[in-house]
Amino acid sequence: MRHLEKALSLAEKQGRVSLSSAISSVIGRLYFQQQRIGDAAQYYEKSIQDIESFRGLIDNENRRQAYFEEGLGAYIGMIQLRHAEDRFTDAFNYNERSRSRVFLDLLGTRVRLSKEKADLADEERRLQRLVAEMKAQVDVEGGTTLVSIEAKRSLSAAERTYRSFLTRVRERDREQASLRTVEPLTASQVQKLLDPGQTLVEYFTTESEVFVWVVERKFLSSRRLALRKSDLLKQIKLLREQISNIGGLET
């Protein structure tokens, strides 16, 4: 653990956000295995924050999706952790955060600021080019020389400038900003949207288990099912075949 924390500190000093996120997720998982819940939550949350800040700087759709998929373990860990504590509402909220990121990765990179906001569009392109140039410079320099350290500082500064830009976009146009940053619904917000008598069933799947939430206007409960994703897919396929056969008999 000591070596991982040293590696995390070094990654943070070098401004390597993606590496910092990955190490934080590993530390979180190890603490969770040791039942050190508070420490595990702290590192999982740090990993998630790194993921959500860095993904907005990736302008290539495939790279953005791949980056999120690599970091999904932190979301899974937080959902498992909060569910184990019977904090079902918190687990639901992290599920919503992960789902929101997947949706934006499919949509956000395909949308640009409108022509009516040409000044913001020009600034967005300039900042994206700057971040890309700084990343390329860091990759070329590598190591811990004075030149490489300066390059990493420049990259961190460029990323901070881009995050400030996103804040300004949010203030001027929330619709456009929503395609770059995410403010997912919380459980309480979802409940307020439900009419009396309405029920929302939401689920989150991992390779070895399924988490299910049942949400009503004044009620939320959750269950963890020890069901592998491969077995779930087989059951869904079987159900679809049975439904199809019923339709065939009726005709």
pLDDT score of 109:
47
Domains in the chain: boundaries: 1-110, 113-184, 187-250
pTM higher than 0.85: no
Q: How far apart are CA 109 and CA 74, in angstroms?
A: 23
pLDDT score of 24:
92
Pinpoint the alpha helices (H) of the chain.
2-13, 17-33, 37-54, 61-84, 88-107, 118-141, 146-172, 174-177, 187-193, 229-250
pLDDT score of 171:
63
Structural contact between residues 43 and 66, judged by C-beta atoms closer than 8 angstroms: no
Q: Which residue type does 4 have?
A: L
Structural contact between residues 90 and 80, judged by C-beta atoms closer than 8 angstroms: no
Structural contact between residues 213 and 202, judged by C-beta atoms closer than 8 angstroms: yes
pLDDT score of 63:
61
Helix (H, G, I), strand (E, B) or coil at 215: strand
pLDDT score of 115:
47
Q: How far apart are CA 87 and CA 182, in angstroms?
A: 23
pLDDT score of 116:
47
* N-term to C-term CA, the chain: 64
> Tens place of pLDDT for every residue, the chain, 251 residues?
888 888 888 887 777 777 888 899 999 999 999 999 999 999 999 998 888 776 655 555 556 566 566 778 899 999 999 999 999 999 999 998 887 765 555 444 444 445 446 666 677 777 777 777 776 666 555 555 666 677 777 877 887 787 777 667 666 665 555 555 556 788 999 999 999 999 999 989 888 999 999 999 999 999 999 998 888 888 888 888 888 777 655 55
Q: How far apart are CA 73 and CA 49, in angstroms?
A: 13
pLDDT score of 32:
94
pLDDT score of 82:
96
Closest CA to 142 of 22, 160, 60, 150: 150
Q: How far apart are CA 133 and CA 156, in angstroms?
A: 12
